[in-house]
Structure 1
Amino acid sequence: MKEIKQIYYNDLGTSFYWKKENEVVTDKVQLIFRETGFYLTKHELHLFKSCIEESSILNKCCDDCELKNKCHKFLLNTPCSQIDLAVSMEELNAVKDLVEGTLFKINLEDYLYGVGMN
C-alpha cells in the first residue's frame, strides 16, 4: 500500500495527500467518502464546497419533515461534470464537514508554513 499523509477525517470519509518517494504530493487531495474517491485540486475542492452549499439551499424546502435526514435522496453535483451523487441530508452534511475540514486544514498549513512563518 502506498503511504499517505492524512489531512482530515470524519465518520463518512477521509482526505489525504499521497506520498511519492517519501515526499508528500500536495498538488491534489484524495477525498474518499462512502465507496467513492475523488482526486481533486484545491480549486476543485472549493468548487465542490460550492456544489454542496447549492444543494443544501435547493433542498431546504422540507426542513420540517422528520424523515428528511435519512429517507430522502438529494442530488449533489461534483466538480466532475460527468458525476453527480445521490445523498441523504445526513450524508450531505457529513460531506460538507469533510470538504470544509479539509480546506481548513490545508489553509492552516499554508499559513503556518508559508506567509505565517517569521
Structure 2
Amino acid sequence: MKHIDIIYRNDSGISFYWKTSKHSSIKAQVVFRDMGFYFTLDQLKAFAHLTQDTLAQSTCKDCPAPRECRSLLLKTPSPDVDLAVSRDEVYAIQDLLDQTILRMETQQFMQTALN
C-alpha cells in the first residue's frame, strides 16, 4: 500500500492513484473482482453511466437468485471488455465508481482553486 494513494474503497473493490504517476493526469486505478482498470475521469463517468444501463436489464426468467446471479452484462469503456455481473455486484461497482468520481472531481476542483 506504500505505492498508492487510496481514493476510495468498499467491500467490492478499491480505487487509487499510483504514487509514481502524476495526479495531474487524473487517471485512477479501479480494482474489483480481481480485475483492474486504469481510467481517466471521463472514462470513469462513462463507466458509471454503463452501470445504470446494466441495472435496467432483466435477469433470467424464473431465476432462483436474481440479485446474486451473474446474468447481467456490464459494458466497460474498453470496447473489447464486457463483464458478467450480478445485480448486487453492479450496485457495489456503481458505489465504487460514484465515490471515486466525486473524490477525483473534488481534488481537481481544489487543485484549480489553489492555482
TM-score computed with the length of structure 1 as normaliser: 0.83
| Partner residue in 2 for 1:50 | 49
After TM superposition, the score normalised by the length of structure 2 is 0.85
Cα distance in 2 for partners of 1:60, 1:113 equals 43
What does 1:11-26 align with in structure 2 at a 5 Å threshold? 11-20=11-20, 24-26=22-24
Counterpart code for 2:31 = I
- Greater alpha carbon shift after TM alignment, 5-14 vs 71-80: 71-80
In the TM superposition, residue 111 of structure 1 has moved relative to its aligned partner by 2.1
The aligned length equals 113
Give, in whole Å, the separation in 2 of the partners of 1:44 and 1:72. 24
Per the alignment, residue 100 of structure 2 pairs with 102
More strand by percentage = 1
Separation of aligned partners in 2, 1:72 and 1:98: 18
Whether the 8 Å CA contact 1:17–1:26 is kept in 2: the answer is no
- Distance in 1 between residues matched to 2:59 and 2:43, nearest whole Å: 25
**CA distances 1:58-107 after superposition (whole Å, capped 9, x unpaired):** 23897xx7721112421000000000000000000000000001001111
Q: CA RMSD in A?
A: 2.5
The one-letter amino acid paired with 1:3 is H
Mapped contact 2:59–2:66 kept (Cα < 8 A): no
* Correspondences of 1:61-76 after superposition (within 5 Å): 67-76=65-74
Of the three residues 89, 94, 112, the one matched with 2:87 is: 89
